[in-house]
Amino acid sequence: MTEPASLLEEIRFGYGPRAGWSLAPGGVEPDRVMAQLSAPDPDAAVWNTMGMADRFAVLIEAKRRKVEGVTGPPLPDMRALARRDEIAFVTRPASARLGFVERLVNLWANRMTVAITPGSLVWIASFRDDAIRPHIAGRFADLLKASLWHPAMLIYLTQNSSVGPNSEIGLRRGRGLNENLAREFLELHSMGAGYDQADVTELARLLAGMAQDETGRRMARRAVEPGIKTILGETYGEGIHEIDRLVETVAARPETAQSVAVMLARHFVQDDPPADLVDDLARTYLRADGYLPPVYRALLAHPAARQPALAKLRSPQEYMAASLRAVGLTGDPQEYKAFQRRGTRLGEVMARMGQPIYRTRQPDGWPETAPGWLTPPMLASRLDWAADLAQLTGDRADPVAQTRAVLGELASPLLLGAVAGAEQRWEGLAVLLGSPEFMRR
């Protein structure tokens, strides 16, 4: 286990301090934060979600029994698993001991967004744990490959309906390309600029026939588009190795370096990040051949990431996780039942705050800037959550002491006075949780 993080590290690069935790002195120490990337995950056994291979096995066996009309030992309840996966969107960050790791998992999963569509819910947690989590401390090209091929991505962007127009199926059935995955891969997942519509169409021709099953990555030969494809000035043939070569090429592009740099700086530092920070991160990315840890270190070492002013508004997920941590809760099953008895369902609260779990409105993911979260109904829902959580837990501790524990010197005298002046403890806690200082990181 790594040494304790500082207060500022927990706020800016994690999900906020947890009640009762000791914190390291000082500000942001890159070595201390970076150590999380190589530390064993202390929460792995708790979450231990079903992996992609096991999910395939359950679905295949369930289909076999239905077709053959046979029975067997009980199979895992995939609907119940999907419900647990949804709640984990909040409760896993709330319980995380490696906050920077969890922030990176959620950040990259948001960049390579998958959302609930028919047939995809059972795969979304696996996408985060099989395609994203193992690659956050590796090469960006490997992260791109894993996310590109995962069933959740293939279903969400309807790649499984894309057929080469000159393939066997295309010629016989008159079916053609679906360009969704090709477009989002270039526009959102990687480059963001420097390509044109012809590149999108040619990439869709290259990707036609992609599939992922219990045996791994494969190409559905009857749907593969034959012939040469020209993408970003380079030529490609057919097959998995050619798609991998394309991904490696795109990952090494300066446009991709710039896009990754802007994303990291905007997410962790401020909505309009300093140009020198973005330039530094992009240069580091290219020097490191797309290896991500040096880019994270450059971010942590930059003065803009180390200044104490909290410039970023927490997303609903971050805000809910931080507030659960602040009062000593994690959202485990027993705690969740307490919320339900009060009529408080975490998923419904998240939706009212503007972030319905795994239901992003567009493939570009959740907003990374404050205006996306600051409509009056969304803000009112945050204040309602603050009051509900405070009433559930407000008799446990001194709200002034809690304010100092979760904000330290970042708590303004005005906030401290308002918390201290509340008539009841829960009201003081509600003031803390609903304050502008607490909603920022």
Q: Give CA separation, 312 vs 4, 239, 309, in Å.
A: 23, 43, 9
3-state secondary structure of 251: helix
What's residue 333's pLDDT? 65
What's residue 329's pLDDT? 86
What's residue 171's pLDDT? 96
Q: CB within 8 A of 256, min separation 6: which ones?
A: 140, 190, 191, 192, 250, 285, 290
What's residue 434's pLDDT? 97
Distance CA 52, CA 395 (A): 43
3-state secondary structure of 210: strand
What's residue 2's pLDDT? 66
What's residue 340's pLDDT? 67
Q: Taking all residues of the chain, what is their mean pLDDT, rounded to a whole number?
A: 93
Distance CA 95, CA 344 (A): 19
Contact in structure between 251 and 144 (CB atoms under 8 Å): yes
Alpha helix ranges (H) inside 187-312: 197-207, 240-251, 254-268, 275-287, 292-301, 303-306
Distance CA 399, CA 304 (A): 31
What's residue 19's pLDDT? 86
Distance CA 434, CA 441 (A): 14
Question: What does pTM read for this prediction?
Answer: 0.95
Ordered mean pLDDT values, 10 residues apiece, the chain (441 residues): 84 94 90 95 80 88 90 86 85 93 98 90 90 97 98 95 96 95 98 98 98 93 97 97 98 98 98 98 98 98 94 97 92 69 81 95 95 96 95 86 94 96 95 97 96
